[in-house]
Amino acid sequence: MRLQSRNSILRGAAAVALLGGPAVAPAAAWSTSVHQVVTLEAIDTLPKPLKAFYEAHRMEMPSLGPEAELPAEGAERRFAVDRLQPFPFPALPRTEAAFREAFGDQARDVGRLPWLLLESHERLVLAFRDGDKARILSESDLLSQLVADLHNPLALTDNSDGQKTEQHGLWIRFAVKLPEAMKGKLKLDPDAAHLLDEPRPFVFSMINATYVWLDNLLYEEELAKRGKGGYTEIYFEDLAVRVGPLLRQRLSQAAGHAGSYWYTAWTAAGRPELK
């Protein structure tokens, strides 16, 4: 009962931040509040032994603590893959070395998001093996953020801010202001965490499952703007109707997949007892 009560309090705090928290710079894939909600929902997807550990120590995770703190983001936390290949990216190399060999200097400009995610997952496996609680919690927090980033269609395109379709500023409207505008209506519904047989290929399946929604996002946002004088409250009400279901779906899947990566790392480490 006590854990459930504290969890409700923390969810409430995240919701309040969504209502009135300051907007982040467009460099961030999601606001701090969105990352908090995804991470909290990821905890709920876990099987009992693992869930109990995260619930008991979630306030020690950097983004969920009293002084929420997210690492600075940069161009590395992107993967503008459509600069290199058209969707569905059939010949995309699965290792960074092969990726760099295939695309040369161009590979440096698209970001490292898939590789950052896989590196974080490997570090989490080691943290579980070592039984290092602080590393487990901080790495889990970062991994959740990277998984969430990968579920933002704009993080996977060269048209990340709508600049190529005359939708300038789309990044912050979709990733920060729309969640704020939806307030309590942004209810996530992630699937239960499951074991990933092949964590590396799964990253690339997530890329395709996210990128496929890019055209829908661009089209529906353009319709929401049509006939309006600016990005007013009426615009965001229309955007919530048109794009809100996509946002909810992307973040729900992010939470389920983050939980799955945590669960897979714990399993790869031999499912150690956690306290």
State residue 66's pLDDT score. Answer: 85
> Could you give the C-alpha distances from 262 to 32, 122, 243, in angstroms and in order?
20, 11, 29
Structurally, the chain folds into a number of domains equal to 1
Asked if residue 150 is part of any domain, the answer here is yes
In a domain, 171, yes or no: yes
What's the pLDDT at 232? 95
> What are the tokens at 163?
């600049």
What pLDDT shows up at residue 74? Answer: 82
For residue 198, CA distances in Å to 9, 86, 195 come to 36, 24, 9
CATH of the domain at 192: 1.10.575.10
* pLDDT at residue number 273: 96
Classify residue 233: in a domain, yes or no. yes
Residue 19 lies in a domain: yes
Query: Distances from the Cα of 94 to the Cαs of 141, 162, 248, in angstroms?
Result: 24, 28, 28
Structural domain range at position 163: 2-268
Inside any domain, residue 274: no
Domain membership flag for residue 273: no
Cα 177 to its chain centre, rounded Å, is 16
> Does 14 fall in a domain?
yes
For residue 39, what are its two tokens? 């991470």
Q: pLDDT per residue over 184-211, tens digit each?
A: 888 999 999 999 999 999 999 999 999 9
pTM surpassing 0.85? yes
How big is the CA angle at 142 (ends 140 and 148), to the nearest 5 degrees?
100
Tokens matching residue 101:
């060999």
Peptide bond into 88 cis (omega under 30): yes
Q: What is the pLDDT along the chain (275 residues), one digit of tens a residue?
A: 223 333 443 344 344 334 333 333 345 789 889 999 999 999 999 999 999 999 999 999 999 988 887 777 788 999 999 999 999 998 899 999 999 999 999 999 999 999 999 999 999 999 999 999 999 999 999 999 999 999 999 999 999 999 999 999 999 999 999 999 998 888 999 999 999 999 999 999 999 999 999 999 999 999 999 999 999 999 999 999 999 999 999 999 999 999 999 999 999 999 999 99
Q: DSSP letters of 81-122?
A: GGGTS-TT-TT--SSHHHHHHHHTTHHHHS--HHHHHHHHHH
- Is 275 domain-assigned? no
